[in-house]
Structure 1
Amino acid sequence: MPDHPSAAPLVPPGPLHGITVIDLTSVALGPYATLQLGDLGADVIKVEAPEGDTTRLGGQARHVDMASLFLTFGRNKRSIVVDLKHPDAADVLTDLVRTADVVVHNVRPDAARRLGITYRDIAAVNPTVVHATAAGFDPEGPYGGRPAYDDMIQGLVGIVSLMERVTGTPRYLPSIMIDKTVGMALANAILAALFHRARTGEGQEVVVPMFEVMAGFTLLEHLADATFLDAGPNGDDPPGPPGYIRTLSPHRRPLRTADGVVCALPYQDKHFRTLFDAFDRPDLAGDPRLADIPSRLAHLDHVYGTLETLTVGRTTADSLERFARAEVPAVAMATLEDLLADPHLAEVGFFAEIDHPSEGRIRQPQLGVRFGSTPTSLRRPAPRLGEHSVEILARLGYDEDRIATLLAGGAVRAHPDHG
């Protein structure tokens, strides 16, 4: 069910052109995964409950169902409203998934069984489908079936505890990092399953649980010395605790200048030879605590404390010039407002500005990846709730009478301006 050629200005097809995704997800994690698939060229059909996705209510809005958050999460998607609890909705769902390449949802196992959207249900209709589930926890474990949101998973995988260790207060990260990170993992898993199907013709079930993905993400560096399970060949080198010490030092923080903040990371040994000359502190070059990586890791508080003394009395511009002279990566701290006006992002066309049919002039951040032959694109703006219900049913082969019956009975709903 590819995009209709008249739906948007002509753009080169993306790498997923010709792939149809039935998107039953809601909130942030799943919609971010399908946003990526849509930007990559897939035809994403967003199947919404009558009340719509909750992101439609997130932020400033010109219309009640079109908040700023949804204008991003909903782009490159078409919206059909199907009440999956309605007895007449089953046939509609069957017809939607019959020729789809991907079906993705984030419904808990019991509800998925009731709604008829499990892998077994969908594969019975379409054996070659890639059926992807975003779950809070692997359904086969003792936590399977529990509800989960970003804040809960931040707490479970140690992020809140890590924040307490470095700030003194248990805190969440000021970002829906779990949803976005697992959303990328979900998109990646779907792409891998599509690649497997392209080689073998075989569809499959894919489960992407938030807890397990983020446990692996967090422990990538923080497993640290707990990697070892024995005390070594002589029994005198017991495993250490988890936690990557460089990032856990309370002194690891941006550097204050006389008029701002600089973020810098001298990392290589050569940086600690060039840095002190650039800041007119050659006396520090002979400090054995700064000589090499093992020494610096053993004296992290001293390392970070020393760096703070270099910039505190200098302007940001002067500090950045000296870091550049020393070939140490460094930038001035930016605000979100600065990000919107960043000259590099402007030069590479990172923000797309479009005229939305109902919401006016808007901007959109793009994925940030670049393809030489199959570029990503913004082919259609975020839809009104049920904007494409009638169009999608018609393209499934439903005649006007059947569509009218479904709308009258409430199994399917359409936006009043697009009915």
Structure 2
Amino acid sequence: MAPLSGIRVIDLTTVAMGPLASQWLGDLGADVIKVEAPEGDSTRRTGPAIEQGMAALFISTNRNKRSIALDLKTDAGRDALLSLIDSADVFMHNIRPQKLAGLGLGHVELLKRNPKLVYAGLHGFGESGPYGGKPAYDDIIQALSGCADLMGKQNGVPGYYPSIIADKTTGLIAAIAILSAIIGRQSSGEGVVVEIPMFECMTAFNLVEHLYGHIFNPPVAPLGYPRVLSKDRRPLRTRDGYVCMMPYTDSHWRAFFKEVGASELIDDPRFSSIGDRTQHIDELYKILSSYLLQRDSFDWLTVCEKLGIPAAPIRSLDDLLKDQHLEEVNFFQSYDDQSIGGICTPGVPILINGERPKSRIPPRLGEHGREILQEIGYDQEKLNRLLRSGTAQREKMGSSPLG
């Protein structure tokens, strides 16, 4: 039995943050029902695609789910969604609360209908603050939460992390928050309202190390963790390329200084403890860089293995696809789809009792609509009426959104 087997999640989220959160819940065994507008989640069209509506980014963020397409602008569509929510343990969305309230989908209304519901709002900003209700995407949150400035402090020019890190980080936090609410409900028997704002989540993420001396009042040191912000914290050039080396503990540095014939630095007060090294990190990294230039990359990796110093070569994205370790642990999941052909994605990255949870290919738009509505008591006449009303529209390709 998967840990969340028997838990039903109604997922009204789109793009990346919410779908990643609900994907985790599906990976852990929850029945995740993805409710989409008749045109589908925008990520169905983001990136390369072999089949219309099944683009790369959608496939990456929507495994282990079922899909139903409903037009929430119609009474029939809203009624169908409300019936689904009545049957659910979790309702999650990333729609502005003002818009949801206009649809009758606010937390007050839904908890009256389903008093044990976990109601999760994934927002750009906390609703009680002046930014509440503003639109937010990854780049905007990276700018506001300090990410772009941190890149500038290290590189001289503000920039974005080359990853949708705000979406992915907040998606993980959302999954944790929803899981904790499910556990809490088991004890209290009462529904829970959970708010997961991107801005606050990413600010907390960045300030783990970068609040630094300002964690005390009054501050005892500037903001920013010096080791991480050092301009010399980067892959280090060797005689024939680059390596990533991370001497960190006192024993690591003592071993390194002995190896390069610089034993006098072991007792140098600038480098004798982790606190001293942090204060003089730029000097230390410059010394490290000067020695690495004297040998080839393979030599340094061999030395580090001998000395117990963490080190690694730089791997490209191409390298990851043929990495021996990932192959040995069966990390990648392959599908053979009749329409698309071969699909290869990262599998669920965790193990439960030594096994990787199963993965199902992401759903076509509305692929499971008929079976989902039948599960909550819709008979054939009611299903046909929903189709005739245009609430669920047929795709140009593939099956009807109601299955």
TM-score of the superposition, structure 1-length normalised?
Answer: 0.92
**CA shift for structure 1 position 295:** 2.2
| Bigger Cα displacement from structure 2, 284-293 vs 88-97 | 284-293
Alignment of 1:233-244 (within 5 A): 239-244=220-225
In structure 1, which of residues 26, 29, 52 is the aligned counterpart of residue 14 of structure 2?
A: 26
**CA shift for structure 1 position 148:** 0.7
In structure 2, which of residues 298, 313, 317 is the aligned counterpart of residue 332 of structure 1?
A: 313
- Give the AA of the match of 1:74: N
2:348 is paired with a residue whose SS is coil
Q: Which position in structure 2 is the counterpart of 1:228? A: 216
| Bigger Cα displacement from structure 2, 85-94 vs 140-149 | 85-94
- Give the AA of the match of 2:317: L
Q: Does 1:123 align with 2:111?
A: yes
Identify if the C-alpha distance between structure 1 residues 414 and 398 changes in structure 2 by more than 3 Å, giving closer, same or farther. farther
For 1:51-95, what per-residue CA distance to the aligned partner results, in whole angstroms no more than 9, with x for missing partners?
A: 111111111101121101111212111110001111221210111
Q: Which position in structure 1 is the counterpart of 2:86? A: 98
Q: Does 1:393 align with 2:381?
A: no
| C-alpha separation in 1, matches of 2:109 and 2:339 | 37
Identify if the C-alpha distance between structure 1 residues 248 and 346 changes in structure 2 by more than 3 Å, giving closer, same or farther. same
Q: Which position in structure 2 is the counterpart of 1:235? A: none
Q: Which position in structure 1 is the counterpart of 2:61? A: 73
Give unmatched runs, 5+ long, in structure 2.
Answer: none
For 1:306-362, what per-residue CA distance to the aligned partner results, in whole angstroms no more than 9, with x for missing partners?
A: 111122232211111111222111111111111111111111111111113432111
**CA shift for structure 1 position 283:** 4.9
For 1:83-108, what per-residue CA distance to the aligned partner results, in whole angstroms no more than 9, with x for missing partners?
A: 11112212101111111010000001
Give unmatched runs, 5+ long, in structure 1.
Answer: 1-12, 231-237
Q: Which position in structure 1 is the counterpart of 2:399? A: 417
Identify if the C-alpha distance between structure 1 residues 80 and 339 changes in structure 2 by more than 3 Å, giving closer, same or farther. same
- Give the AA of the match of 1:417: S
In structure 2, which of residues 145, 154, 178 is the aligned counterpart of residue 157 of structure 1?
A: 145
Task: Check conservation: 1:150, 1:177, Cα contact below 8 A.
Answer: yes
In structure 2, which of residues 364, 381, 390 is the aligned counterpart of residue 384 of structure 1?
A: 364
| C-alpha separation in 2, matches of 1:279 and 1:31 | 50
- Give the AA of the match of 1:393: L
| Bigger Cα displacement from structure 2, 148-157 vs 311-320 | 311-320
1:205 is paired with a residue whose SS is strand
- Give the AA of the match of 1:228: F
In structure 1, which of residues 267, 279, 282 is the aligned counterpart of residue 260 of structure 2?
A: 279
| C-alpha separation in 1, matches of 2:138 and 2:224 | 22
Q: Does 1:246 align with 2:227?
A: yes
2:320 is paired with a residue whose SS is helix
Q: Which position in structure 1 is the counterpart of 2:200? A: 212
| Bigger Cα displacement from structure 2, 322-331 vs 189-198 | 322-331
For 1:162-194, what per-residue CA distance to the aligned partner results, in whole angstroms no more than 9, with x for missing partners?
A: 111110111000000000000000000000000
- Give the AA of the match of 1:67: A
Task: Check conservation: 2:151, 2:158, Cα contact below 8 A.
Answer: yes
Task: Check conservation: 1:75, 1:383, Cα contact below 8 A.
Answer: yes
Identify if the C-alpha distance between structure 1 residues 412 and 284 changes in structure 2 by more than 3 Å, giving closer, same or farther. same
Q: Which position in structure 1 is the counterpart of 2:270? A: 289
| C-alpha separation in 1, matches of 2:201 and 2:342 | 37
| C-alpha separation in 2, matches of 1:393 and 1:98 | 12
Identify if the C-alpha distance between structure 1 residues 374 and 119 changes in structure 2 by more than 3 Å, giving closer, same or farther. farther
| C-alpha separation in 2, matches of 1:99 and 1:87 | 19
Alignment of 1:138-177 (within 5 A): 138-177=126-165
Task: Check conservation: 1:258, 1:315, Cα contact below 8 A.
Answer: yes
Tell me the C-alpha RMSD between the 2 structures.
1.6
Q: Percent identity?
A: 46
| Bigger Cα displacement from structure 2, 94-103 vs 259-268 | 259-268
For 1:253-279, what per-residue CA distance to the aligned partner results, in whole angstroms no more than 9, with x for missing partners?
A: 111122322111111111111112233
Q: Does 1:408 align with 2:396?
A: no
Alignment of 1:300-319 (within 5 A): 300-319=281-300
TM-score of the superposition, structure 2-length normalised?
Answer: 0.95
1:188 is paired with a residue whose SS is helix
Q: Does 1:86 align with 2:74?
A: yes
Task: Check conservation: 1:385, 1:414, Cα contact below 8 A.
Answer: no
- Give the AA of the match of 1:329: P
| C-alpha separation in 1, matches of 2:338 and 2:190 | 40
**CA shift for structure 1 position 216:** 1.0
2:270 is paired with a residue whose SS is helix
| C-alpha separation in 1, matches of 2:382 and 2:32 | 24
2:68 is paired with a residue whose SS is strand
1:137 is paired with a residue whose SS is coil
Q: Does 1:361 align with 2:349?
A: no
| C-alpha separation in 1, matches of 2:319 and 2:356 | 27
